[in-house]
């Protein structure tokens, strides 16, 4: 997280924000170079794939450098700021500190001993916690790159996106010497890509900060290895103009279309980066479609009595009860009867894990995209408590203040797409959950009630479920119970 870069200043790095997040985008700097900061003062606002977070600095002193402009995406472990600490050093840095750079300027001071530096770092840390790290003394870094390790190169004479002298034809691809200790990789996607292609990450030298191995490094190594293996057989073809493509990060091209996309389609239109919330949604939904064999069943229900019950509740005084809170209460009661749907699948162990508590996620559309806040222990809450928590999380979602912890850990999702004015949908399950209840709009429709045709408030309910955790009978029973509670709210009294 931080380390002493010299005798006068400490370098604060982007901390591990938890929940598997590996990078963040700088949204707004809260300090300027030369500003005096106190311990735990927020210095930058960043956007992760989960939420907007203000990052506090665990050191007090004078900001001597900032790393990255607003809009820049940084990996975990990349430098954020350097801070001149200590009385004399901070005073010396206060004057010329507005110059950009990584070192503090000012009158040279005596180099403190290693023990004194360690004591200073302990004194500066407050012990407060932001998801994933504390502002006490930083633990030893788990990933370290061996200095001076040779760079892996490919037949095109490029290594990690940088041009090198071209090797004569027939020269083998050089690789880095295997590095002892942990491999400098943060992203699980990079590890998976290497594992699927039997690539030893220890043989690569990353092009990221501090030798961090990026996805572009792995992709280029795979392309270079494939080209090297086919060099002899394809020598004639290669001399006629065919070349190994450079890494995507080093030479992006509008004409290099993705697999399955024609060159004409790849060169036209506007490209929007899949990052932040949009990127996280894309990754999660794609994974759900790949891994979960989902199925959907649906039913129309007469919600007239439920609407009347809500009106009666709100007429009696006290906090108003929301419709989504009543639907959530029905969900938790149904999951008690059909616990198979409050579960997840452990694919490695080949086991279905039935979960004890219900942490109910609900879909919320915001200016930043679709998010799914989670109501913790929804099964233990009444309608008033659910209403209050839904309101709090919705407001936080719209303001971009949700923490990663409030966006993860759900066991079942309630999706009220009726707010968009539609009747039905077949949603994608929120991986790794096993089911999602969809609720359409409630509208007046002709309905046979007590043997006569009448205009009633009708809603379409749908259940998308993971067919690995249960069969259609269980899913149908769950949805039928939910519909019965919507049509006759008194059914819930049996379980209250």
Which sequence positions are flagged as catalytic? 467, 471
**d(Cα 177, Cα 256) in Å, to the nearest integer?**
32
Contact (CB, 8 A) for 13 and 77: yes
| Residue partners of 96: CB distance under 8 A and separation at least 6 | 105, 106
What number of other Cβ atoms are within 10 A of residue 284's Cβ? Answer: 17
The CA angle 454-309-296, to the nearest 5 degrees, is 70
The CA angle 121-125-128, to the nearest 5 degrees, is 160
Residue 110 CB-half CA count within 13 A:
4
**d(Cα 342, Cα 463) in Å, to the nearest integer?**
13
Tokens standing for residue 15: 């901390």
Q: Kindly report whether the peptide bond that precedes residue 432 is cis, defined as omega within 30 degrees of 0.
A: yes
Q: Answer left, alpha or beta for residue 338, where phi above 0 means left and psi between -120 and 50 means alpha.
A: beta
**Strand 443-449 to 435-439 pairing:** unpaired
């Amino acid at each position: 997280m931080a380390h002493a870069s010299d005798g006068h200043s400490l370098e604060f790095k982007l901390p591990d924000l938890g929940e598997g997040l590996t990078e963040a985008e700088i949204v707004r700097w809260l300090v300027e170079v030369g500003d005096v900061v106190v311990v735990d003062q927020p210095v930058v606002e960043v956007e992760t794939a989960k939420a907007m977070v203000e990052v506090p600095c665990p050191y007090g002193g004078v900001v001597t450098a900032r790393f990255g402009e607003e809009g820049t995406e940084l990996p975990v472990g990349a430098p954020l700021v350097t801070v001149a600490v200590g009385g004399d050093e901070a005073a010396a840095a206060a004057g010329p500190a507005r110059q950009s750079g990584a070192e503090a300027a000012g009158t040279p001071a005596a180099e403190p001993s290693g023990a004194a530096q360690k004591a200073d770092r302990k004194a500066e840390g407050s012990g407060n916690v932001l998801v994933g790290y504390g502002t006490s003394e930083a633990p030893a870094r788990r990933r370290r790159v061996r200095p001076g390790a040779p760079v892996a190169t490919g037949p095109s004479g490029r290594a990690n996106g940088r041009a090198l002298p071209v090797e004569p034809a027939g020269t083998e691809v050089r690789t880095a010497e295997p590095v002892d200790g942990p491999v400098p990789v943060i992203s699980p996607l990079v590890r998976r890509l290497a594992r699927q292609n039997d690539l030893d990450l220890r043989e690569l030298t990353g092009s990221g900060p501090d030798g961090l191995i990026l996805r572009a490094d792995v992709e280029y190594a795979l392309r270079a290895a494939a080209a090297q293996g086919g060099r002899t057989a394809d020598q004639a073809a290669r001399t006629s103009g065919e070349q190994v493509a450079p890494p995507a990060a080093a030479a992006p091209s509008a004409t290099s279309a993705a697999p399955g996309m024609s060159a004409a389609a790849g060169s036209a239109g506007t490209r929007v980066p899949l990052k932040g919330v949009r990127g996280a949604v894309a990754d999660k939904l794609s994974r759900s479609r790949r891994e979960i064999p989902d199925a959907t069943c649906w039913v129309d229900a007469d919600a007239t009595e439920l609407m009347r019950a809500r009106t009666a509740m709100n007429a009696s005084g006290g906090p108003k009860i929301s419709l989504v809170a009543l639907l959530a209460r029905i969900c938790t009661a149904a999951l008690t009867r059909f616990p198979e749907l409050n579960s997840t699948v452990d694919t490695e162990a080949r086991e279905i894990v039935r979960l004890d508590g219900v942490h109910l996620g609900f879909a919320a559309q915001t200016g930043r995209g679709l998010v799914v806040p989670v109501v913790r222990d929804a099964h233990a809450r009444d309608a008033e408590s659910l209403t209050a928590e839904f309101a709090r999380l919705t407001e936080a979602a719209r303001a971009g203040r949700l923490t990663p912890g409030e966006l993860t850990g759900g066991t079942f999702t309630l999706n009220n797409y009726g707010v968009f004015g539609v009747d039905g949908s077949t949603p994608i399950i929120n991986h790794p959950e096993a089911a999602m209840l969809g609720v359409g709009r409630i509208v007046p429709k002709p309905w046979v009630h007590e043997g006569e045709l009448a205009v009633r408030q009708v809603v379409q309910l749908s259940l998308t479920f993971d067919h690995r955790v249960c069969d259609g009978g269980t899913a149908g029973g769950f949805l039928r119970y939910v519909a019965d509670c919507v049509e006759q709210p008194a059914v819930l009294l049996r379980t209250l």
